Each structure stands twice: as C-alpha cells, then as structure tokens.
Amino acid sequence: MKTLRFALIGCGLMGREFASAAARWLHLTNLDVRPEIIAVCDTNPALMQWFQDRVPTVRFASSNYQDMLENPEIDAVYCAVPHNLHGQLYVDIIQAGKHLLGEKPFGIDAAANAQINAAIAANPHVLVRCSSEFPFFPAAQKIVQFVQEKRFGRILEVEAGFWHSSDLDANKPINWKRMVAINGEYGVMGDLGFHVTHLPSRFGWLPRDVRAVLSNVVTQRPDASGKLVPCETWDNASLLCAVEHNGYEFPMNLSMKRIAPSQTNTWFIRIYGTEFSAEFSTKYPKTLRTLPYSSGAAQAWHELDTGSESAYPSITGGIFEFGFSDAILQMWAAFCDEASGSTPKFQCATPSEAAFSHKLFTAALESQKNRRVVQL
Ligand SMILES: NC(=O)c1ccc[n+]([C@@H]2O[C@H](COP(=O)([O-])OP(=O)(O)OC[C@H]3O[C@@H](n4cnc5c(N)ncnc54)[C@H](O)[C@@H]3O)[C@@H](O)[C@H]2O)c1
C-alpha cells in the first residue's frame, strides 16, 4: 500500500469532506494507494483545530500556505479556498512540485485560469486535476459507458444542470459566493457551472456558440449584522449552446441555478438520441432512465435501480444506495490512483476541461451583456 501525504489548504466545507473520505479509505477494495492528511492550513485557526482534534495523522498546522509548499514531507495538496485565491495558490502549489486537486472554477476568471494552465505546462511532472464528483454516481457512470459505446445514434438534444434552492429565501445572509470580488463575475456559473460542463466536455461536446440569459433575482441580502448590502452576483444562468458533432449540430441546454424552487442539490444530465436516450438526476439518486428505440418499436422509458457500483469497487453491497459522500470518496480514489502512477478507472476532471468551462462562461457573460449569440 503506497501512501500519498497530503496538505489540506482551506479547512471549510469541502476540506472536511476530504478528511471524511480519507478517514474511511478502508471502504475501498483493491486499491493500493491511500491518502494521509499530514498538514492543514487555514487563515482561521479554529477551523484547523477541528482537524487537529479529529485527524490523528495531522502533524503540521499553519495559517501561511507557503509553509505547506516548503515542507518536503508533503506530496500533494487539496486546495479548497475561495475563488479569488485560486490563481495565486494553485500556481504556487504547482511550482512547488506538489500534485494538486484544486477546486472549481479553477481560477476566478479566464485570466487566472490561464495563469494556472501556464504553470501546469511548465511543470508536466505534477498531476493537476479539478474536483468534480457527480460523474461518479453509478447511474452517471452508466451514461458515460453509453456514450463510449455510441449507443445514442444521432444526438437530438442534451440538457444538463445543477440547481440549488436555498437562495429563494431573500433573508438568507450574504456569503463570499455572492460577492463578485471573491466569487467572480461569473456568479452562479463560477460556483456551480463546472459541475454542469464537466461531462459534456469529457464527451467532446464543445459548443460552437452560446446565447446566455443570466438573472440577478435577489439584489440585496443581509450581512452578518443584519444590514442589507448589495448582492451583485448572477443567481441563475441558462446557456443555450449549439454543438457540432460528427458533421451535424445539436442543441445543448446548460443551466446553473441558485434559485430553483425545491431543488436542494440537483445535478442532472439528459441525452436524447435517435436510437437511445438516457437521463439521471441526483433528485432520484439510484434511478437510471433509458429509452432504447428501433424503427416501429414502442417508445417506452425503462427505469433501473442502480446499486452502489461506481468506478472503484467498495465493501458496500451491490444493491445498497450511493450518495454524495460516496461520490467524493470515488473522486479521491481516482485522484490518488492516478497520482500513484496508475491509469484511473475514471479520470478526474482535467485542467483542459476546466479551461473550456472558462471559455464558455466568459462567452456567456458577453452574450448576456450584448444580448446576442457569441461564437466560441
Ligand atoms: N466540489 C464541490 O461539490 C464543491 C462544493 C462546495 C464548494 N466547492 C468549492 O470549494 C472551494 C471552497 O469552498 P467551500 O464551500 O469549502 O468554502 P468555505 O468558505 O467553507 O472554505 C474555504 C476556506 O478557505 C479558508 N481560507 C481563506 N483564505 C485562505 C488562505 N489564504 N489560506 C488558507 N485558507 C484560506 C477560509 O478560512 C475557509 O475556511 C471553492 O472553490 C468552491 O467553489 C466545491
């Protein structure tokens, strides 16, 4: 069993998810590498203490991320910090020669993303991947398989989205994800968008143009003291794209919403084709819907209850349900597997896939501003 010694930079919501995944590594079978979190870094000491109290392998803690980069015992970094810090921190981590799983959107904007990509190009020995866990849901893995098998015939249309609902409450206090200076001009696209574009870009379905309609629904929110302050970021984004594929064109409708009534964390993908259609939504996390079609046959959806089987085998019985933290564990298995030199069973999102999302979101901002279709 090889050990990959990690520093965690950013001890917030996602940092804790990684600690939990690393702590239940025994869940995975037939994997000869494991992560060990030996160092934590956050500008808020109370958050580091949570890890020091609960993760026995943590031996280093610092509020200065440079200390993580200078530590020769650290092989790899998970960096889960606000978007305005991605550019500087990711570049420094890569230049320090540490493998990196970075969080989306992989740079606050296209310029920051380009800096990260330049650092990657200059350090090809470093493995750099972007966090994106939803494709590891078993039903999503089946859809990946269907695309690889070219089951769909001619693609008629693709819809993908990621929808949240809690911002419907106009009294929900503001946080950094609703501030342009920290979250970025992309608004909801920077926060939720990469989850939506990851699989389409993995499939090679890169839009040739986009018409975006972006909405800022709640323009003020209370701050911590209750005072109303501007809430400038886009809440919802609908991107209608034209995709050229195999000599024909099909529409792709990508949506990211912070205000989608009733949807708590709904990630979905639907692919309609002349010979086969398939859809999966985390709203029904074990349900895979498919519709095979041949000339003259009935057009009937089939529903399959998927079990727990994802890319990496685990101890969970095949019929048991799979959830968010299982997807996170699978993503970490894929990252550690690849960092240890193996070919991962499903590769984590790549920097070029993240770069493509920046191109699309930048075009979407221009489309909204000028109310026109923008070529990519
Ligand atoms: N993959 C997913 O499903 C998912 C879900 C939520 C968030 N995210 C992404 O994860 C990243 C972090 O989001 P979060 O929800 O965990 O945010 P968070 O606010 O909960 O955590 C961010 C942490 O970074 C710390 N921090 C700020 N400046 C720092 C610095 N200079 N050095 C070290 N630490 C610093 C903050 O104190 C905070 O604890 C973002 O890029 C976000 O888009 C991904």
Tens-place pLDDT, residues 229-246: 999 999 999 999 999 999
Q: What percent of the chain has pLDDT over 70?
A: 100
Q: Report pLDDT digits (tens) over 11-62.
A: 999 999 999 999 999 999 989 999 999 999 999 999 999 999 999 999 999 9
- What's the confidence (pLDDT) of residue 269? 98
DSSP label at residue 155: E
Mutate to test the pocket of ligand 1, among 48, 90, 103 (most ligand atoms within 8 A of CB): 103
Q: Report pLDDT digits (tens) over 172-212.
A: 999 999 999 999 999 999 999 999 999 999 999 999 999 99
Q: Report pLDDT digits (tens) over 66-78.
A: 999 999 999 999 9
CA angle 56, 57, 58 (to 5 degrees): 95
- What's the confidence (pLDDT) of residue 245? 94
Quote the CA–CA distance of 335 and 329 in Å, as a whole number: 10
Confidence of residue 99 (pLDDT cuts 50, 70, 90): very high
Task: Give me ligand 1 centre to Cα 315, in Å.
Answer: 30
**Structural tokens at position 146:** 């269907």
* Mean pLDDT of the 101-122 span: 98
Give the chain's mean pLDDT. 97
The residue whose CA has the least distance to atom 36 of ligand 1 is 10
Q: Measured in whole angstroms, how far is the alpha carbon of residue 118 from the centre of its chain?
A: 21
Quote the CA–CA distance of 324 and 21 in Å, as a whole number: 11
The residue whose CA has the least distance to atom 4 of ligand 1 is 14
228-230 vs 220-222, strand pairing mode? antiparallel
> Which has the closest alpha carbon to 105: 361, 338, 328, 375?
361
Strands in 184-283 per DSSP E: 207-215, 220-222, 228-230, 236-245, 248-257, 266-273, 276-281
Mutate to test the pocket of ligand 1, among 11, 14, 63 (most ligand atoms within 8 A of CB): 14
* Mean pLDDT of the 154-178 span: 97
**Single-letter amino acid, residue 63:** S
Rg of the Cα atoms in the chain: 21
- The torsion defined by the Cα of 104, 30, 124 and 94, in degrees rounded to 10, comes to 50
* Nearest atom (ligand 1) to Cα of 191: 43
Instruction: Return the H-helix or E-strand segment holding 178.
Output: none
- What's the confidence (pLDDT) of residue 273? 98
For the chain, domains (ranges, CATH) are 2-130 (3.40.50.720), 134-318+346-370 (3.30.360.10)
* DSSP reduced 3-state for 172: coil
> Which residues are near ligand 1 (CB < 6 Å)?
9-14, 41-44, 47, 65, 80-83, 85, 103-104, 131, 133, 191
* DSSP reduced 3-state for 340: coil
- What's the confidence (pLDDT) of residue 323? 97
**Structural tokens at position 157:** 């249309």
- What's the confidence (pLDDT) of residue 172? 96
